[in-house]
Structure 1
Amino acid sequence: MEKEGREFKITDIQTELVDNKILTIAVPAYNAAKFLPRSLEPFTELDQAAKESLEVIIVNDGSKDNTAEIAQQYVDKYPEMFKVVNKENGGHGSGVNYGMQHGVGMYYYVLDADDWLNPQALTLTLDKLKAMRKAFLQDSSSPLPDLLLVDYTYENIEEGKNRISLKRQVPVEKFFQFHESKSFTQGTYLTMHSMIYRRQILHDASLVLPEHCFYVDNLLAYIPLPYCRQIYYLPVELYHYEVGRDDQSVNENNFIKRIDQQIRVTKLLTQAYHLYSDLPGKENQKIRQYLMHYLAAMYTVSVVHLIMIDTPEAKEKIRDLWYFLQTFDKKMYAAVRRSLPNVLLNLPLGNKAIGMFYHVVKKIFKFN
């Protein structure tokens, strides 16, 4: 018999309306001097009203280059918008944590220091959030989003641009709950780049990202989602995510070197929920299926890279990973193993077939 579902606390929204800042954007930055001006300059194109409603926290994560000096130049010139904190190195997750814990904006978003936002799309996003807050202040029955969804674009150095739109998955420019969304098929899911959370939601979810670990953006995209009651999708092309560089964590060679960190994040996602008992019943079917779909993708990505490593140690890590899921929740284990990519991974494939499978998985899950 399934236990009763987890209670997802939602804090009284009135406590969040005391500050003028509508949005906090955290920019974790480690040795980012080469890219930081490209990341920060679009903010300077905003009008004064937008600048005053926005908080951009540049978290210098123990950089050894002149990241701190570049960040301070923007703070000096636009003190109403930029803040900088210089801290010991703790990894990407520590920068995201700092913004969550110390930001004052009603909403929260993360921008990697080597990516950038479209200023026109950002203006539209800020205007929408401010308009909804104003409507709520005038009439408390007017809804406010726990999660604002936007589009983003892959800026692939070799393959060009690819906009990721959610128009086929969710209602456009209207409030909805997750069960009103359409099915998310293989390769379609929400990412950090598309998700602007009400900051209190992250606190309600007790989200704290691990330090000194890559791939933690998956935790940000996954764990708070069941806490989001009111969702709104604004189809603006906001985030520009550059991929294809050799120095990136999602580069194939780097990913393989850091496979233990991918495994760590996959296990943390697993432990976040007993999906069938924490989210029981038909009313939670859509979000339960979506989170299972996301979790299965994480296992696929982990296992396919371990197969590519093809060492006795890697094979043992595959066995350990499946055993971990099986002992945590047998029902979740069965569902993940039944997902099509993981079924295919069980077949006796040769190295050539695994290589072909890898490139198919890469296209589907867009992890590189």
Structure 2
Amino acid sequence: MDKLLSIVIPSYNAEKFLDNVLGELVKCHNLNRLDIMVINDGSTDQTAEIGQKYQDSYPGSVRLISKENGGYGSTINTGIAQANGRYFKVVDADDWLDSKNLDRFVGLLKRTETDLILTPFWAFNDKNHHKHIPEIKPDDISWGQKYYLKEQGICPVPSMHTYTLRTKLLQENEIQLDEHAYYVDIEYILYPIPYVKTFEFVNIPLYNYRVNQDNQSISMTNMRKNQQQHSLVVDHVNSYIKEHADGLNPNQQELMVNRLSRMIATQLKIIDLAPIQMATKHELSSFYRKVKDKYYFEPKDINLPMRWLIKSRFNLFPVIHYLAILKMQLVHY
């Protein structure tokens, strides 16, 4: 029987969570229509053994694919290359999908050919176990209706947790993410967009996204530590937009520029998290001069504190520094 959905689980030292995500997936009544790939990225714990256990128990639906360590992007690249399902979704090993809604979603996939399907997700607070569904659908879009991207835009673009893409779109256009790098989820969101013709928002919450973890790449400490990697992805996304600019329709370009602009705002915030000294102000000014002249950047697409920072010629950087810290301490979806 044809597989309808390939689910890639990037797994590096994921023994703590892997039973949870796989245990939920194998509850699906449509398990025989799923192609579940545990991509073991050179783990040194029991990740491979857990993956092998599920492959042995569900040989027609679960595959363990072990490879040398190459980072998050490399696991997705491997998944794209080896996917057998008509559609493709990434589920991080520390997150999980709702099995009941997954059955409903697989039923939908039997009768659609839409390039990009966007579904709500739960934000699950790892500290207090509260969860809620953030709003993902713009007001000018209806649930369950197929749109053509050349006629209807998506602004702002939703997160990676909402994404399900047609596998052939990824494979035929050779979508590849950076390896040995953080923040490549933005590449996964944006790199398919030049090839997306149709999209649909479907009101079937699927993804449970675990937030407020100390080791997340969006935590304050990790953002500072990985500043250069974030900057690298900003550079690569900008180059990708430039490379494809001639073939983009206005809605595709607006979507990609909007997301890149918000990445640039994040890079400004990361810089501003440095100690309050003149060297930080000079770094902010230098980075902004570069993006203002050479990057696809729209200040209207970024948040108000970052616009204040720019308009003040970075004289407000101490104020924004403390605001950014306060927000990161208090806001977890």
TM-score (norm 1): 0.80
Question: What are the residue-to-residue correspondences of 1:288-307 with 2, within 5 Å?
Answer: 288-307=253-272
Question: What are the residue-to-residue correspondences of 1:253-268 with 2, within 5 Å?
Answer: 253-268=221-236
Question: What are the residue-to-residue correspondences of 1:1-368 with 2, within 5 Å?
Answer: 20-47=2-29, 50-132=30-112, 144-158=113-127, 160-169=130-139, 170-181=141-152, 184=155, 188-274=156-242, 277-278=245-246, 284-310=249-275, 318-319=284-285, 321-326=287-292, 328-329=294-295, 332-333=296-297, 335-336=298-299, 339=302, 341=304, 342-346=306-310, 347=312, 348-357=315-324, 359-360=326-327
Q: Distance in 2 between matches of 1:327 and 1:34?
A: 46
Q: Deviations over 1:270-322 (max 9, x none)?
A: 11113995366xxx333332222211110111111111113677656545544
Amino acid at match of 2:215: D
Q: Deviations over 1:28-48 (max 9, x none)?
A: 10010001111110112112x
Amino acid at match of 1:351: P
Amino acid at match of 2:318: N
Q: Deviations over 1:133-170 (max 9, x none)?
A: xxxxxxxxxxx111111111111224621313434343
Confirm or deny: 8 A CA contact 1:28 1:113 kept in the other structure.
Answer: yes
With over 3 angstroms needed to count, the CA separation of the structure-2 counterparts of 1:337 and 1:150, relative to structure 1, is closer
Q: Deviations over 1:76-118 (max 9, x none)?
A: 1001110001111111111000000111111111010000000
The DSSP-based 3-state class of the residue aligned with 2:178 is coil
The DSSP-based 3-state class of the residue aligned with 1:232 is strand
Confirm or deny: 8 A CA contact 1:168 1:182 kept in the other structure.
Answer: no
Deviation of 1:120 after TM superposition, in Å, equals 1.1
Confirm or deny: 8 A CA contact 1:165 1:235 kept in the other structure.
Answer: no
Question: Could you tell me the percent identity over the aligned residues?
Answer: 26
Q: Distance in 2 between matches of 1:202 and 1:118?
A: 25
The DSSP-based 3-state class of the residue aligned with 2:133 is strand
For structure 1, the 5+ residue unaligned runs are 1-18, 133-143
For structure 2, the 5+ residue unaligned runs are none
Matched positions, count: 326
With over 3 angstroms needed to count, the CA separation of the structure-2 counterparts of 1:362 and 1:178, relative to structure 1, is farther
TM-score (norm 2): 0.88
RMSD: 2.7
